Homo-oligomer: A and B are copies of this chain.
């Protein structure tokens, strides 16, 4: 049996109420008793019973970290890095409870109000919106990561993928490329769309035509990048630069080039997105757009903590910037 405030109370010759107050730094208690009780508690190795606290305070000390099943189509490291950032900020203040949700899941039944003091939702797919609405209806403080939903009044932390891509494509244009292809990510992924829009706008606003033949579908996996690149290389009029919507597809694309005996970057430039840990060390190191995944987790967590502890937060949305990293896989024309 572990030590309770009643045990401490008995030994200190006070009521358990006094102990409770002393340990919670209530102003109603004299400095002297507070010190005495705290020392005693420390000595006895007192640890508060979370269940009892939860029951009376209507707090669970749980933070739900949710995402959709679609996350399985993302590179495995993505979720972990976000996660890592979050848990760094949360520390021991809350339990971080991870769950993959289906949009068919009954959120009302499985995510009861009482179970989570706050929610961090990592959104990857547009269809997540259904779940987000349901979660929002629970009236539990929530922060959405990886997607801009400030219009709906939700707190969100996301990366400006549009500008990130646009800058990258503009860099290629400035380097003399005019025939620039894109390998898109999964149709329904938010990041895919943003990156695609950045690509399109960069071309348009620099007076370049959008060539439908240069737009290929991919699935964020190396093999889809391979296939897409393969079909680009079959074109009579090949592009001189290819933007792969993520590094994993860029790897596949590079492999296709090596099959066709196409030299990177001499024959074709390749640009990725994400900057994964291996990207710098590919045989031809990959130029890419670095996305601050861990930082996104940290920001999201600290906003949620602000809401939970201070009851308010300075701004509804936090937008993070990417960095363009130029390595060996891109070259001027």
Q: Which A positions have Cβ atoms within 8 angstroms of B?
A: 2, 45, 47, 49-52, 54-55, 60, 62, 75-77, 79-81, 83-84, 87, 92, 95-100, 108-110, 112-115, 221-223, 225-226, 248, 251-252, 254-255, 257-258, 277-278, 280-285
**Is there an interface contact between B280 and A258, defined as CB atoms closer than 8 Å?**
no
Instruction: Give the distance to chain B from A316, nearest Cβ to Cβ, in Å.
Output: 28
Contact of A80 among B80, B95, B280 (CB under 8 A): B80
**Is there an interface contact between B76 and A80, defined as CB atoms closer than 8 Å?**
yes
Instruction: Give the distance to chain B from A58, nearest Cβ to Cβ, in Å.
Output: 8
**Is there an interface contact between B47 and A109, defined as CB atoms closer than 8 Å?**
yes
Q: Which residue of B lies closest to A293 (CB)?
A: B76
Report Cα–Cα, A180/B76, bound state, in Å: 32
Indicate the member of A84, A108, A281, A282 with the most B CB atoms within 10 Å. A281
Per assembly, the copies of the chain total 2
Q: Name the prevailing secondary structure of the A interface residues.
A: helix
CB contacts (< 8 Å) of A113 on chain B: these are 2, 47
Report Cα–Cα, A98/B95, bound state, in Å: 8
**Is there an interface contact between B55 and A51, defined as CB atoms closer than 8 Å?**
yes
CB contacts (< 8 Å) of A99 on chain B: these are 87, 92
**Is there an interface contact between B255 and A221, defined as CB atoms closer than 8 Å?**
no
